[in-house]
Amino acid sequence: MSSVDSLHRPFADTIEPRRWTMLTILLCGIFLAPLDFFIVNFALPAIQGELHATAAQLQLIISTFAASYAVFLIIGGRLSDLYGRTRVFTIGLLGFVASSIVCGRAPTITVLIVGRALQGLSAAAMVPQGLATVNVIFPAQEKPRAFSIYAATYGFASAAAQIIGGLVISLDIFHRRTQARRERRDPARASARVTDRVADRRARGRLAVVVVRAAGGRVPVAAAYILAA
């Protein structure tokens, strides 16, 4: 009886001592795939305005990621059998970061769509390694907890994407740089923008004078200008 039980009981020397640290690193990579898939939904209106995308192109931004991810997911798992889980996961993670930079700095909608396809490919190489590694490095009694954490991380990333996407769009961090880059490419647009600003300032200045006169000179010019703004 004891000999039969020993076949199913994991040996101490076969258990990976750093398994929980390895799981944490894996989850950081796994977190990116659903996060990036859902976060783009909030950016579609901004993308349409900045890159002048059509409705079909906006659909491609979503579908290219999903299609490339779904089609190559099994291939990503097979690649880990051929070249090792660590190597394929590292390549997928680096590729995902690089393709995300391409998407973030995309000057045209075509470059953005190609970057999204590359993101899907990278995610397909990265995600299968998480499940395979958890299945290998954890003993049977710890696998339910490890898989539960894995699933919870995936779900949390999907939900957090809604919040993070809204915050990123609201902050509008790169808007000024994007606008400056476009104005360098289009001097006429930059000139028109400067003209509009000058006309707006002149109009506010005239309104400030009216406010001062209406108040009988009791309102400082600076305060009147602020009120007019």
Is position 208 within any domain?
A: yes
3-class secondary-structure state, position 106: coil
Whether 29 and 130 have beta carbons less than 8 Å apart is answered as yes
Give residues with Cβ within 8 angstroms of 156, minimum separation 6: 31
Please indicate, yes or no, whether residues 129 and 42 belong to a single structural domain of this protein.
yes
Structure tokens at 26: 């894996």
Q: Does residue 193 lie within any of the structural domains?
A: yes
How many angstroms separate the CA atoms of 66 and 120, rounded?
A: 6
- Do 197 and 119 share a structural domain? no
105 and 153 share one domain: yes
Rounded to 10 deg, the angle between the 109-137 and 55-83 helix axes is 30
Q: Does residue 22 belong to any structural domain of this protein?
A: yes
Q: What is the CATH number of the domain that holds 118?
A: 1.20.1250.20
Q: Give the predicted TM-score (pTM) of the model.
A: 0.66
Q: Which of 165, 196, 183 is nearest to 47 (CA)?
A: 165
Task: Provide the pLDDT for residue 180.
Answer: 44
173 three-state secondary structure? coil
Please indicate, yes or no, if residue 5 is contained in any of the structural domains: no
Q: Does 4 fall in a domain?
A: no
Instruction: Return the pLDDT at 192.
Output: 55
Residue ranges, the chain, pLDDT below 70: 1-14, 172-229
CA–CA dist 14, 105 (Å, integer):
46
Q: Which long-range contacts (CB under 8 A, 24 or more apart) does 201-209 make?
A: 204/228, 204/229
Distance of CA 15 to the CA centre of its chain: 35
How far apart (Å, rounded) are the C-alpha atoms in residues 94 and 45? 28
pLDDT of residue 49: 82
pLDDT tens across 5-38, in order? 443 444 445 677 888 888 888 888 888 888 888 8
9 found inside a domain: no
Whether residues 205 and 168 fall in one domain: no
Residues 169 and 214 in one domain: no
Q: 140 and 194: one domain?
A: no
84 φψ region: left (φ > 0), alpha (ψ -120 to 50), beta (else): left
Clarify whether residues 121 and 164 are in a common domain: yes
For 204, the domain range is 187-228
Q: Which of 97, 106, 124 lies closest to 60 in space, CA to CA?
A: 106
Whether residue 207 sits in one domain with residue 106: no
Overall domain count for the chain: 2
Same domain, 106 and 162: yes
Burial class of residue 95 (count of CB atoms within 10 Å of its CB; 0-12, 13-18, 19+): middle
- Domain assignment present for residue 125? The answer is yes
